[in-house]
Amino acid sequence: MNYVIIFLLISGLVFFTGGSIGILRLPDFYTRLHPAGKLDTAGQFFTMSAIALFVLQDFSLANFLTATKIVLIVIFVYITSPTATHAIVDAGMRAGLKPWTKEGQL
Amino acid sequence: MDSVFYYSGFYLALIMLLPLYRAIFGPTVLDRLIGVNAIGSKTTVLLIIVGLIYGRVDMFVDIALAYALLNFIAVLAASRYFQKKKGLYEKNPSD
């Protein structure tokens, strides 16, 4: 059981690492939203499920309620993270921000 | 098993420095908003790991839930506020 938890935790941290490097290195505002929207959500899912499994190892009612709250946080993030990403893209489109192209021209 | 969570929390705090660069030196306002959003989504995980280290997960889960909600509201309000400011991002002098 511990190996499953460690595997989920490390895979979530790998997703977080990829998202952070993508935010740092991608050339444009719209392309930077791609790791910010997806990889943070995936990393949050894996690390939160690892922590919920670790909490559920000694089973009692209080630990079950704590794991339920962690699952609720994951469901909340799965609803709100695409909404926030869409709101930022909408703000960029309305402000007239041009997408990046390879030659530096449109 | 505790040392795994120690190292995970330390690594997560190191990883949060990379979006902090984007949040400080971002070329536009919306880049800074992306950095703040990424830091907030990592802070939600880091709060629960801190709760595991202290042995008070039942208290820190509520704080993490409130932080996730606050992060969402802050990003939504800031993006709604900055979308009307035309000409704030363009740097070429023809506009």
Q: Is the pLDDT of residue A50 over 70?
A: yes
CB B37 within 8 A of CB A44: no
Listed in sequence order, the residues at least 6 apart from A7 whose beta carbon sits closer than 8 Å to its beta carbon are none
Place of tokens 């505002």: A29
Q: Is the pLDDT of residue B95 over 60?
A: no
pTM, two decimal places = 0.85
Q: Is residue B89 part of a domain?
A: no
Tell me whether residue A105 is in a domain: no
* pLDDT of residue B28 exceeding 50: yes
Residue of A nearest to B84 (CA): A95
- For residue B27, the enclosing domain spans 2-82
Q: Is residue B90 part of a domain?
A: no
Residue A103 CA neighbour count, 13 Å, CB half:
2
| pLDDT level of residue B88 (50, 70, 90 thresholds) | low
Residue A105 has pLDDT above 70, yes or no: no
B22 vs A23, A51, A77: nearest CB: A23
| Domain annotation covers residue A30 | yes
| Amino acid B89: pLDDT | 54
- pLDDT bucket at A10, cuts 50 / 70 / 90: very high
Question: For residue A105, what is the DSSP state?
Answer: -
Residue B75 is assigned to a structural domain of this protein = yes
Based on the structure, what is the number of domains in chain A?
A: 1
pLDDT at A98: 75
The answer to whether the CB atoms of A97 and B62 lie below 8 A apart is no
**Distance from A101 to chain B by nearest Cα, in Å?**
16
Q: Are B31 and B68 in contact (CB under 8 A)?
A: no
Residue A47: predicted pLDDT: 92
Query: Which residues of chain A does B84 touch, with a Cβ-Cβ cutoff of 8 Å?
Result: 94
Matching residue, tokens 């930022």: A88
pLDDT at B58: 87
Query: Over chain A, what is the mean pLDDT?
Result: 87
Structure ipTM over 0.90, yes or no: no
Nearest to A84 among B27, B58, B75 (CB): B75
How many angstroms separate the CA atoms of B63 and B44, rounded? Answer: 9
Given a cut of 90, is residue A58 above it in pLDDT?
Answer: no
